[in-house]
Copies of this chain bind each other. A is one copy, B any other.
Amino acid sequence: MFAVTEAIGFREVKAEILRRITQGIWPPGSLLPGELALAEEFACARATVNRALRELDEAGLLDRKRKAGTRVRLAPLRQARFEMPIVRLEIERTGARYRYVLIKKELLPAPDWLAARLHLGQGSTALHLLCLHLADGQPWQLEDRWINAQALPQVLDQDFHHEGPNEWLIRAVPYSEVEVSFLAAAAAAEEVTHLGFDPGDPVFRVERMTWWQSVGITHVTLSHRRGHRMTTRY
């Protein structure tokens, strides 16, 4: 459906282009031959060349302009891509048994910082949840979540004792915009209590906010167990 079977695949084309770039045959700043010329040289479909170029573009090695053609970037853009897995799957992938505990669930007037970030009106309410995700009985991640109860009134019918709010949200609500931050913070009271830190210990936190058509849906702080690293290879 997406590509005709080729004598030469886009991976081979990509590897050859990468070789020419890294060996300086096509130095930084140089203009690559056009797609048709490359397709002819490699005796493959233009779509194959296109896919190879696209992936090298996404890897930050090329600079593609519709009219000016494709050049080797002077300084490769470096991107790190992290998969943000559902914590249950992340834990199960390690072979451990996943357990979920709802620590707190409360409907509250939205605190000022939350109202400001999610653009809530005056007198808004928000559902606040504190959840612990465990691997083989050991705390793995503490989830401190706020959900916009005006935008998502159906959230009030949810129990959240057996399934965490993240998995429910994924099913129930699409999102159009996400902001993710990674940071180091000194362990606060809830992290001391539920993750076993000493007060002030360094904690790796992920903060995420999602919007759907400009309406803030949820704000979550994910605090990770001691020594957690978020690692990616590419």
Contact = CB atoms under 8 A, between A and B. Distances in A.
Interface of A: 1-3, 18, 21-22, 28, 34-35, 50, 64, 66-67, 69, 75-86, 167, 170-171, 174, 176-186, 200-205, 207, 212, 228-234
Contacts of A35: 1-2
A106 B219 CA distance: 46
A66 B182 contact: no
7 contacts: A1-B34, A1-B67, A78-B83, A80-B82, A177-B234, A178-B234, A181-B231
A201 B228 contact: no
Contacts of A228: 183
A75 to B, nearest CB: 5
Given A75-B167, A77-B83, 13 more contacts: A1-B34, A1-B66, A1-B67, A2-B66, A75-B171, A178-B233, A179-B231, A181-B229, A182-B204, A182-B230, A184-B204, A184-B205, A207-B229
A185 B21 CA distance: 37
**Which of A84, A171, A185, A202 is packed against the most chain B CB atoms within 10 Å?**
A202
